[in-house]
Every structure is written in structure tokens, then in C-alpha cells.
Amino acid sequence: MKIVTVIGARPQFIKAAALSRVLRQQKGVQEILVHTGQHYDDNMSEIFFEQMEISWPDYHLGIVADTHGAQTGRMLEAIEAVLITEKPDRALVYGDTNSTLAGALAASKLHISVAHVEAGLRSFNMRMPEEINRIVTDRLSDILFCPTGTAVKNLQNEGFAGFKQVKIVKSGDVMQDAAIYYASKEQMPELPAGGVAIEKEFGLVTLHRAENTDVPQRLSDIFMALAEISLELPLLMPVHPRTRQKLDSAGVDLGMSSFAPDKFCLIDPVGYLEMVFLLQRCSLVMTDSGGLQKEAFFFGKPCVTLRDETEWVELVGSGFNMLAGSNKERIIEAVGRMKNVVVTDEDGMYGAGKAADCIVGALLGQLTHAKAQRR
């Protein structure tokens, strides 16, 4: 079986690391890896291939930032060319980025079956580019790997169970597979002298959603909340390039002169192994990242989500995650309420680290079934 996997953004490297390892152990499976180039800085791309031992991409398309239409369109054209050359049995896409959408669209137009990992998630907020990407990708896919029961229900509510040839599999979450596999390989990050002391209590922060970074009022409200919280709980924040651009243009100095660095320390993005190190030691996570919300849970840490809604509703339902949006008072209150919450994973609600086995089993099983039918 020949599979073309399309990835391009940081969280997709992490998800692919977990699944690719299992996929490539299977006899008769050939994976061709396509990197669209969506994320391109060394600390947003290459570092993950090195640290997580992901095999180097067979194709690097070099398609960097642009408007959504231009970026997705250029990816579509370039991925189509790869698919025509490689003639795979299946395309594999992850998550909800522009790379995901372009991969699914290129493959489905060529009648190549599409497998979507992290299918069925919904924020019900159509202003999010990710919501558009995931809805379209799900509709174009014929095997949908849902990380949670909620994701399965979302697809059922949209009538997916009635679509012929569509298979829905509740697989668990490959990010938990990654968290378990790499936990013991953690690496201590290099931090600036005089920055937050990570051997003491600290909160780990990330922020990159367009809905926060691209709306000046939201960005400034969130930063005002963070600055105030940091006086009680020092904060460490690896800054995403999108956010860095917005902070630069707002005159906030990443060289830390804008905040007391031992209280609120802004650093460049770190690798996954450094992130695992920080996740295992922080007291609380504050984020608008989808991946970080789950990783907080995998590493037993409470999370305050800097969004108005989340796709990972089961974490909010369990009391391990609280939605605080961008309002300064709400964020401060949420941190006060969440910081001592004890987080335990008793129900294995994300698959307990077996998602990749489940996905690979289903992919191989479906192909064998299709071959038997053709005979």
C-alpha cells in the first residue's frame, strides 16, 4: 500500500511523528511524505523532524505564507503534481490547516481515497479558518479518524453515517501517543539568564490563533491579563511567529524589556522535547492552541483556554479546562479557579496512547477488504 501523507504546520509534524512510526513498521506499506512548507523556520519545522526522528520529506513544496486563497491554491497545484507522479492508494491528512485542505482537495479530485486524522472536531465558529478547513476535509474524506466520541457525534449529526463508502473510526488522539512516547526524552530548554525560574512554580503560555492575534483589542486584553497574573505566578511563553509579528508591530519587545523577565518571559518557539520538559514541570497551562489544551491534560495540568469556544469540550466538561476568552478579568479569575485543580486521566478519553495502532489497523484492514472485493 502506498500512502502519500501531506503535512505542513507544527502540530502536524507532531501528529505525523506518532503515526508514521507505526505505519512504517508495517510490511508492504510505503509512505511518501510531502511537506507543503507552510511552517518553515527551523524552530517551527526542522527541529521536529530531528528531535522526533520523522523521516525527511520526500517532497518539500516550499509554499510559505500568503493569503488563504493564494496559499491553499498553490498547495493544491503542487500536491496534485505529486499525486499524479506517485499514484498512491491513499492520501493521509491531519487536522485543520490550509495544508490539510489542499491535500484532501487535490487527492479527492483525482479519486484518491482520503484518510483524515482528527476528523469530526467542530468549534461551530465559521469565522475560524480551521473550521472551514475541517468541515470541507471531512466531507472529502472516506475514512474519518475521530479522536473522541464527541467528534463521532458531530459527524453523525451532520449525516455522515448515511454517506456511502464513508467509514468513521473512533481512534483516540495521536497526540497522546506522542506525549507518552516522548515524555522520557524531554530536553531542558535554553532560557535567557534572569528569566523565569522553571525550577519554581510557573505557568506555560502559548497564543497564536488569528482570532486573538489579529484583533488588537483581544491581543492587548490578553497581554494585560498575563502581565497581571505573572506578578503572582511567573509565566513562560514561547512565542509563535504570527504573534511575534503582531507584538513587533505593537512595539512589544521580544528581547524582554517590555516585561520583568523573571515574571513574564517571552522566548522563541521551542522544540517538542523542550515543550514536554516544560509541560511536565509547569503548574498551569494558558493557551489558545488545540494541541496544548490536550497536552495539559496528558501531563496532568489544568488549563485556561484563551478562546470563547473549544473543540475539546470533554476537557471543559470534566473541569480540567476553563474557557476564559480574551476578557482580562475573566482570565485572571479563571487562573485563580484552575490553578489548584487536580487533573487525572482515568477514563482514557483520548485513547490512552493507542491511536496510531488503531488507525494503522483500520487503514490496512480497509485496503485488504477493498482488494478482496475487487477479486
- Residues with active-site annotation: 208
Q: Report the residue from 21, 35, 39, 218 that binds ligand UD1 according to the rule CB under 6 A.
A: 39
**Interaction partner, residue 242 (ligand UD1, ligand UDP, none; CB < 5-8 Å by kind):** ligand UD1
Among candidate residues 335, 327, 305, 334, the one with its CA nearest the CA of residue 218: 327
Interaction of residue 212 with ligand UD1, rule CB under 6 A: no
Block residue for cell numbers 482528527 = 118
- Cell numbers of 189, please? 530548554
- Cell numbers of 89, please? 492508494
Long-range contacts of 40-45 (CB under 8 A, 24+ apart): 40/64, 41/241, 41/269, 43/268, 43/269, 43/270, 43/271, 44/10, 44/241, 44/269, 45/10, 45/13
The amino acid that residue 168 corresponds to is I
Q: Report the residue from 1, 65, 166, 367 that binds ligand UD1 according to the rule CB under 6 A.
A: 65
C-beta of 214 vs 329, nearer to ligand UDP: 214
CB 242, min distance to ligand UD1, A = 4
Interaction of residue 131 with ligand UD1, rule CB under 6 A: no
How many residues interact with ligand UD1 (rule CB under 6 A)?
A: 18
Interaction of residue 247 with ligand UDP, rule CB under 6 A: no
CB 40, min distance to ligand UDP, A = 14
Interaction of residue 38 with ligand UD1, rule CB under 6 A: yes
Show the DSSP H helices in 87-184 as ranges: 98-109, 129-140, 149-157, 174-182
Interaction of residue 72 with ligand UD1, rule CB under 6 A: no
CB 11, min distance to ligand UD1, A = 5
CB 123, min distance to ligand UDP, A = 12
Q: Report the residue from 3, 128, 275, 355 that binds ligand UDP according to the rule CB under 6 A.
A: 275
Q: Report the residue from 269, 302, 351, 353 that binds ligand UDP according to the rule CB under 6 A.
A: 269
Cα(38)–Cα(321) distance, integer angstroms: 29
Cα(134)–Cα(156) distance, integer angstroms: 15
**Interaction partner, residue 325 (ligand UD1, ligand UDP, none; CB < 5-8 Å by kind):** none
Cα(211)–Cα(74) distance, integer angstroms: 24
**Interaction partner, residue 88 (ligand UDP, ligand UD1, none; CB < 5-8 Å by kind):** none
- Binding residues among 4-23 for ligand UDP as defined by CB under 6 A: 10-11, 14
Interaction of residue 241 with ligand UD1, rule CB under 6 A: yes
Interaction of residue 117 with ligand UDP, rule CB under 6 A: no
Interaction of residue 44 with ligand UD1, rule CB under 6 A: yes
- Cell numbers of 172, please? 483516540
Q: Report the residue from 134, 208, 246, 263 that binds ligand UD1 according to the rule CB under 6 A.
A: 208
Helix axes 216-229, 328-338, angle to 10 degrees: 40
Q: Report the residue from 57, 261, 291, 351 that binds ligand UDP according to the rule CB under 6 A.
A: 291
What residues form DSSP beta bridges with 33? 5
Cα(305)–Cα(335) distance, integer angstroms: 10
How many residues interact with ligand UDP (rule CB under 6 A)?
A: 16
**Interaction partner, residue 98 (ligand UDP, ligand UD1, none; CB < 5-8 Å by kind):** ligand UD1
CB 269, min distance to ligand UDP, A = 4
Q: Which residues, in sequence order, are CB contacts of 232 under 8 Å at separation 6+?
A: none
Cα(118)–Cα(145) distance, integer angstroms: 6
Q: Which residues, in sequence order, are CB contacts of 83 under 8 Å at separation 6+?
A: 4, 91, 106, 107, 110, 112
Cα(137)–Cα(119) distance, integer angstroms: 8
Give the residues lining the site for ligand UD1 (CB under 6 A).
Answer: 9-11, 38-41, 44, 65, 96-98, 129-130, 208, 241-242, 245
* Residues making contact with ligand UDP (CB under 6 A): 10-11, 14, 206, 208, 238, 269-272, 275, 289-292, 295
